[in-house]
Structure 1
Amino acid sequence: MLTFFHAPNSRSTSILALIKEMGIEDKIDIREVTIRRQDGSGGPDPANPHPDGKVPCLQDGDDLVYERAAVMLYLTDRFPEAGMGPLPGEPKRGTYLSWLFHYQGVIEPLMMLKWAGIDNEVLRYQMRSFEDAVAHIDAALADGPWLLGERMSAADLLISGLFLFAKIEPEQPRVRDWIKRCTDRPAEKAAWAEDNAKAMNA
């Protein structure tokens, strides 16, 4: 059985939502761990195998998977029957991989730079801006309700989760509607409700 190391109300909540969306909770041992929070609370958990003491982290025997995009790709490939990610050789596989890696390498770093108030000419040249990244999402959604067109995938949960977590409301109506479609899904609501309840009882 796979083991998922999760800290409530963190970046790993989107993985919890994906696990629920895929209907694979009975195939994964979910273990809660502590992490160092931005407000200075918490701290590293010796039970967490993540090399940086962060989440999410997924353990499959001797194999360790971390970074949200990597964990999502691993789960959607490992449990293809859930249909949350195109497999090698299937249509839109390349688009799916591109969105996962674009999120990890461009979208989230740009959001963090915006959050930190950092603006640099070299960074703008290499990665553009967070506003450009949102415009890219908006353009993709012109072809369908999801990033892959008519098919929802883990990429939708991954990227929409950033806006929810960071409490960012984009100006583009199409992007706002897409975020609402993602966050209104029963699995997403259940994951955040569980985490919020735990935070209130902590």
Structure 2
Amino acid sequence: MILYHSPNSRSSTIVSLLHELGARDKVDVRVVSIPRQDGSGGRDAANPHPEGKVPYLVNGEDTVRERGAIVAYLCEAFPEAGLAPMPGEAKRGEFLSWLFYYQGVLEPVLVGHVAEVKHPAYYATFRDMKTLTARLTDALQGRDFLLGDRFSAADLLMFSPFGFFTQMTPDVPVIKDWVARCMARPSMAEVARWDAELLAQTL
């Protein structure tokens, strides 16, 4: 498998996942450039993603885009790591629900919040920060992680925006403690160090 990655981007989460899965040496991580919000970077001809984005996973003739899909795909490819309930196992539906919630609710709400989008149709579809905060607070009550006492790939994906943009973390103890537990994973420090090295090479 080949993973297309750009440092300090959404694909950093997937590189962290490879470490968590014990599969970092089993997937070829290829570094490409992407357009950045500050105007730097640009589309990389070496990146086969149809929109020039990352992450993008290629496995022979099969391709996977969107982080939630890539998380599910890799967890099924390396089930021995135990980072996700497999089909037929308990909490499989809960796990998948969080992956789709990230793509369909959490990220749109966060981007809308930053962009100051204010429209009834937007709120009716995606909800708002207050609703998102309440959903996470309720899910984490009495639990260390989203599925219970064990860290899963759902936590890695769901917490990722708060790991990058700490100022967006809701000021709620159970959420802040959850983010801190996820940030303390060794994979986070390892990928942050590698990303910093990659960025330094481009300066």
What is aligned with 1:186? 186
- Give, as a single letter, the amino acid of the residue that structure 2 aligns with 1:186: P
Deviation at 1:45, TM superposition (A): 0.7
Residue in structure 1 matched with residue 176 of structure 2 by the alignment? 176
CA distance, structure 2, for counterparts of residue 48 and residue 201 of structure 1? 19
Q: Secondary structure at the match of 1:27?
A: coil
Identify the residue that residue 106 of structure 2 maps to in structure 1.
107
Q: Aligned pair count?
A: 201
Whether contact under 8 Å (2:104, 2:126) holds in the other structure is no
1:25 aligned counterpart, secondary structure: coil
Q: Which moved more, 1:7-16 or 1:166-175?
A: 166-175
Give the structure-2-normalised TM-score.
0.96
Give the corresponding residue for 1:18. Answer: 17
Q: What is the one-letter code of the residue matched to 1:194?
A: W
Match in the other structure for 2:64? 65
Corresponding residue SS for 2:29 = strand
Deviation at 1:100, TM superposition (A): 0.2
Aligned residue runs from structure 1 range 6-155, under 5 A:
6-155=5-154
1:89 and 1:143 map into 2 onto residues whose CA distance is: 25
Q: Is the 8 A contact 1:21 1:188 kept in 2?
A: no
Deviates further, 38-47 or 165-174: 165-174
Deviates more, 1:129-138 or 1:38-47: 129-138
> 1:96-144 CA deviation, whole Å, 9 max, x = no partner?
0000001000100110000111111111122210231122111111141
Q: C-alpha separation between the residues in 2 aligned to 1:195 and 1:135?
A: 33
Counterpart amino acid of 1:92? Answer: K
| 1:95 aligned partner, one-letter code | E
Q: Contact 2:108–2:126 at 8 Å: present in 1 too? A: no
What CA RMSD, in Å, does the superposition of the two structures yield over aligned residues? 1.0
Ranges in structure 2 where 5+ consecutive residues have no aligned partner: none
Q: Residue 160 of structure 1 corresponds to which residue in structure 2?
A: 159
Give the 3-state SS of the residue equivalent to 1:4 in structure 2. strand
In structure 1, what residue type is equivalent to 2:175? V
Q: Which runs of 5+ in 1 are unaligned?
A: none
Q: Which has the higher contact order (CA 8 A, sep 6+)?
A: 1
Separation of aligned partners in 2, 1:56 and 1:113: 22
Contact persistence 1:140–1:147 (CA under 8 A): yes
Moved runs in structure 1, 4+ residues, more than 3 A? none
Deviation per CA, 1:13-67, whole angstroms, max 9, x where unpaired? 0001110111101210010000000111111111111111000000000111011
